[in-house]
């Protein structure tokens, strides 16, 4: 499934002189994919769930308010940080997080 701009789809369908009273699969396929930028999620609103942790092996982009960097999330401890030889170093400065972007794919 791909996100599309529904308003653009409706606008282009209604403005079509051959408009039919419904949207066809061809109309949807012709609509450009909507580019969705990942949004920062404040830690006070919610933390990553289990499925989000599995997607990137628990690695997320995080921010402390001054900078952004990547950090692991420990779903058991419900904390961001990094594994160390003696356990897990918790990063208490993280105030927001977002998923990592999709990997770059070379188009041939």
Comparing CA positions, the residue from 25, 29, 27 lying closest to residue 11 is: 27
In the chain, the N- to C-terminal Cα span, in Å, equals 22
Q: Is the pTM of this model over 0.75?
A: no
| C-alpha–C-alpha distance, residues 74 and 93, integer Å | 15
1-5, 9-13, 31-35, 84-88: lowest mean pLDDT where?
1-5
The predicted structure's pLDDT at residue 67: 94
Q: What is the pLDDT of residues 13-54, one digit of tens each?
A: 666 666 555 666 676 677 666 666 778 999 999 999 999 998
Read off the pLDDT of each residue in 85-104 and give the average, rounded to a whole number.
89
Q: Which two tokens stand for residue 38?
A: 């990942």
Annotated domain spans of the chain:
1-35, 41-98
Average pLDDT, the chain: 81
How many Cβ atoms sit within 10 Å of the Cβ of residue 56?
17
* Cβ-Cβ contacts under 8 Å for 90 (sequence gap 6 or more): 77, 79, 80, 81
Element housing 13 (H / E): helix 6-14
Query: Looking at residue 88, what is its pLDDT?
Result: 82
What is the model's pLDDT at position 62?
96
């Amino acid at each position: 499934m791909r996100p599309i701009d529904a308003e653009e789809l409706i606008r282009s369908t209604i403005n079509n002189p051959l408009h039919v009273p419904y949207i066809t699969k061809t109309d949807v396929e012709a609509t450009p994919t909507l580019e969705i930028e990942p949004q920062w999620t404040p830690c006070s609103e919610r933390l990553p769930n289990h499925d989000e942790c599995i997607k990137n092996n628990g690695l997320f982009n995080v921010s402390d308010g001054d900078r952004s960097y990547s950090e692991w999330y420990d779903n058991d401890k419900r904390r961001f940080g990094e594994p160390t030889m003696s356990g897990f170093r918790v990063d208490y400065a993280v105030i927001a997080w977002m998923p990592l972007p999709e990997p770059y794919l070379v188009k041939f």
